[in-house]
A and B are shown apart, each in its own frame.
Chain A
Amino acid sequence: MTQTSDPHVAPQADHADTARTFLQRVADLRAWLFLAFLILGFEVWSRISFGGTFLFNPFNIQSIAVFAVAPLLLATGQTFVIISGGIDLSMGFIMGLAAVVAAHVINWATPGMGFGMAVLFGGLVAVLVAAIPGMVNGMLVAFLKVPPFIGTLGMFGVARGVAFLLAGGTTVPVKNEVFAALGNGRFYGVPYIVIVTAIFVLIMHYLLSQTKFGQHNYAIGANAQAARRAGINIKWHLLRLYILSGMCAGLAGVLYAARFTAGAAQAGEPLLLDSVAAVVIGGASLFGGSGTILGTVAGALVIAVIQYGLVFINVAPFWQFISVGVVIIISVLIDQAQRRFSGGRQSE
């Protein structure tokens, strides 16, 4: 028997695959296309109205990168969670909690340990503390079968309350010059916090795209039943997943506290939805099973460029909400179209 014994099946499918795969690739890259389009738009506007450049001004690039740090850190963790078919609504206040914990611990440790060690110790403690609400999220979702939306919404409230209690309802200033330097210093013009974020994002990209953990995350998001039958321990995976997203929020909180040399409970409040937006703009589906860290990077940059760019060209800041909203809607529409297109044959 050869392939030609049934000539109608395979060739047709192969032909459709080529066009389909090409369109899928374009759709997968949409966040980078958005980004290029936006930067081009601001560049043109800038040259026409101010006679100056937008993109080639190092100050602008630095500002956008610093802008993107916290939402991007949240969004990398959120990418993992969303790919698994869940969502983590508690990240914003876990970030605030970590910022407050970092501020307190560094202040407490500085006299005894010296500036540098205190920063290291405080940062570590803050990230570990952030892992605790993450672990609770994971136990709720994995073992007690609580829907992620509800479980993490509960943790949103708990983390928020604890963060405000620890902060005494106010911001906690940090007196440590090494911490201030970490938050505001630069290495050859590149802010330290941007370097830390870039390294972290690379590690997360590796984790998602090159390890079993990442591969299982995709499988669970697409078909949890199949993953279970293949012998993947889903409960253990989900537990680790939510701890990871808690720790991402923790790192975001530490870098926030460094940048403002203060810990604030509400540090991450406006950033949670930005992080979800970055993931969605980056090409992930809220149904789970798809998404990449590189897409999320583009998504976070799109949001940062919109926010900074609109200020730069002197438009009322409220337009940024409208623009980001429109980009999210367009992005979801593309995702829907892509889904209908690639999944069409099964649903027929």
Chain B
Amino acid sequence: MSPPNTPMVNTPMGETLLEVRHLSKNFGPVQALSDLSMKVHAGEVVALAGDNGAGKTTLIKAISGVYAPSSGEILLKGKSVSFASPQEARDQGIETIYQDLALADNLTIGANIFLGREPMRRAFGFLPVLDRAKMAEAAKSTMALLDFHVSRLDAPVSNFSGGQRQAVAIGRAVYWNAQILIMDEPTAALGVPEQRKVIQLIHQLKAQGRGVIFISHNLQDIFAVADRIVVLRRGVQAGERRISDTTHDEVVKLMVGG
């Protein structure tokens, strides 16, 4: 229950953290995803792009334990894994940052980080009470790790801006030592300076050796932060490129087909 709040995760940079092999998922007769393979290395940001219905969401839901794949294999650090629930995926270090953030707005940063697994201490030697000092301390160090310095650790997160709240959601994943972060449109609801802040956060995660799967409609963001891009179209992989070897135009062509 007390994770090491380590700045570096244990997989050496560049080694394969997550591998998806020949993954397919069908809902009855509907083939949402077919024979998809991809890899995420430590310290790498992989962007997932594709039109609505291309299978991005199905893919990340399979990786994060929401759906069981119909066929194919998921390997985490070389070991085959299968998750019965998102909780199991989380326990193994795969954390999804949802678009709607999944924060309790009325609680502090610390309380959000520890939501559902609150630390306790004993007051007067016998009375179990919430260990708010520990939560605040963890909030402070975790946010500092993301190069994000907050002065008000006792304020509810509703006081913070969209980008800051995004950072809290990421901070929670980092505190519990997530190795793979799946971020679904993390910049969609933000203003421009806030978007830049989130891009900066993703660079931090990368520098710490974590793997990031980044879903976005915004090619500018993808080119600013990703190392590789995997483009999906109608459930199949339409192409995979190194960001340094491709252009906006090529990616758009892959997305729409042509």
Contacts and interface: CB of A to CB of B under 8 A. Distances in A.
Q: Name the 4 nearest CB pairs between A and B, nearest first.
A: A230-B116, A219-B104, A230-B115, A210-B129
Interface string A13-34: 1100100110000000000000
B107 interface: yes
Contacts of B149: 3, 10
Given A210-B128, A210-B130, 15 more contacts: A3-B149, A6-B200, A8-B193, A9-B197, A10-B148, A13-B160, A212-B120, A212-B130, A223-B105, A225-B102, A226-B104, A227-B104, A289-B106, A345-B161, A345-B162
Nearest to A225: B102
B158 A346 contact: yes
Classify the interface of chain A: helix, strand, loop or mixed: helix
A229 B158 contact: no
6 contacts: A6-B196, A17-B151, A206-B129, A212-B120, A230-B116, A289-B106
A345 B157 CA distance: 12
Interface in B179-204: 193-194, 196-197, 200, 203-204
Contacts of A14: 151-152
A215 interface: yes
B18 interface: no
Contacts of B194: 9
A229 B151 contact: no
A222 B193 contact: no
Contacts of B86: 229
B147 interface: yes
Interface in A209-236: 210-212, 215-216, 218-219, 221-223, 225-227, 229-232
A290 B158 contact: no
A225 B118 contact: no
A137 to B, nearest CB: 24
B43 interface: no
B163 interface: yes
A5 interface: yes
With a 10 A CB-CB cut-off, give which of B127, B158, B164 has the most chain A CB atoms. Answer: B158
B161 A13 contact: yes
Contact of A229 (B102, B117, B148): B102
B115 A227 contact: yes
Contact of A21 (B102, B104, B159): B159
A112 interface: no
Contact of A226 (B115, B118, B128, B163): B115
Nearest to B164: A13
Contact of A343 (B87, B130, B158, B162): B158
Interface of A: 1-3, 5-6, 8-10, 13-14, 17, 20-21, 206, 210-212, 215-216, 218-219, 221-223, 225-227, 229-232, 289-290, 342-343, 345-346
B118 to A, nearest CB: 5
B106 A232 contact: no
B100 interface: yes
Interface in B98-123: 98, 100-107, 111, 115-118, 120, 123
Interface in B72-101: 86-87, 98, 100-101
B106 A290 contact: yes
B155 interface: yes
B118 A215 contact: yes
A343 to B, nearest CB: 6
A230 B151 CA distance: 25
Contacts of A216: 116
A231 B117 contact: yes
Nearest to B115: A230
Nearest to B165: A346
Nearest to A216: B116
A218 B203 CA distance: 33
A6 to B, nearest CB: 6
Contacts of A225: 100, 102
A164 to B, nearest CB: 40
B105 to A, nearest CB: 5
Contacts of A222: 104-107
A232 B129 contact: no
A9 B151 contact: no
Given A230-B116, A231-B117, A6 B107 contact: no
Interface in B131-152: 147-149, 151-152
A9 B190 CA distance: 12
Given A6-B193, A8-B193, A232 B152 contact: no
A20 B155 CA distance: 10
B115 A232 contact: yes
Contacts of A218: 104, 106-107
A3 B146 CA distance: 10
Given A1-B200, A218-B104, A219-B107, A9 B193 contact: yes
